[in-house]
Amino acid sequence: MSINMQPLIQCKNIFFRYDATDVLRDISFDVFPGEYIGIIGGNGSGKTTLLKIILGLLHPTKGDILFFDQPFADFHDWHKVGYVPQHVFRNDVNFPATVWEIVESGHLDARFGEWLVPGKKKCSVVERSLKQAGIEHLASKRIGELSGGERQRVFIARALVSRPELLVLDEPTTGIDAATEEQFYAFLRTLNNVGMTIILVSHDLEAVEREVKRVLYLNHCVIDRVSKKNEREVVLNEKKVSNI
């Protein structure tokens, strides 16, 4: 990783608390273009809270975040960030939306209720995202008719439709079988190999360490930052916290 490369996200000494409970303590790390980062931790370790702060859904109690070299308050280009949350779809087989409609909705600007792109151009970007996710043959199917792995690809396609520079996924393999999980990770590898920056949050230590290029181990604070040995950048905490 070039030391001169500008980070997409910079988290600087982030703290967060719910009422009187400290959830995150002194979190600092950068996310660089083209990285594939895994955030690992047990239940209650603060993973989803950290993700919500990165996505602007929560504001830190203390600390600073820069998005694409802009202070949080000045950043408005959220189309640059694609997000696939946990439990995005709950197996309602009667849900009245097709795959095309789900993916298309990723181009709706929720702030203004307007399409980010009009007409034929909108169709072309939806088609591109479906193809990128390998699900163009499913376009007319209802979302409730799909397997767990197919649904995950649909919502990734939805996140990709605005052509983001960063893709954030929260526990994306929950509820899918081992064979489908391998196909899903292969898909993420393909995205990363063509330049997509990915943050993957999971409790599955083995899978994440196998797949990603850098791992943040979280237990309310970052207890370790490790890059794979064959990567150019090796990042280790100067101080490991062993008793938290």
pLDDT digits (tens, 9 = 90+) for 82-115: 888 876 655 555 678 899 988 988 875 443 344 4
Instruction: Supply angle C-alpha 46, 49, 53, rounded to 5.
Output: 135
pLDDT digits (tens, 9 = 90+) for 36-67: 999 988 888 889 899 889 888 888 999 999 98
Domain boundaries 9-227, corresponding CATH code: 3.40.50.300
User: How many CA atoms lie within 13 Å of 5's alpha carbon, on the beta-carbon side?
Assistant: 13
How much is the mean pLDDT over the chain? 79
For the sheet containing 81-84, what is the strand order?
81-84, 166-170, 197-202, 36-40, 214-218, 222-227
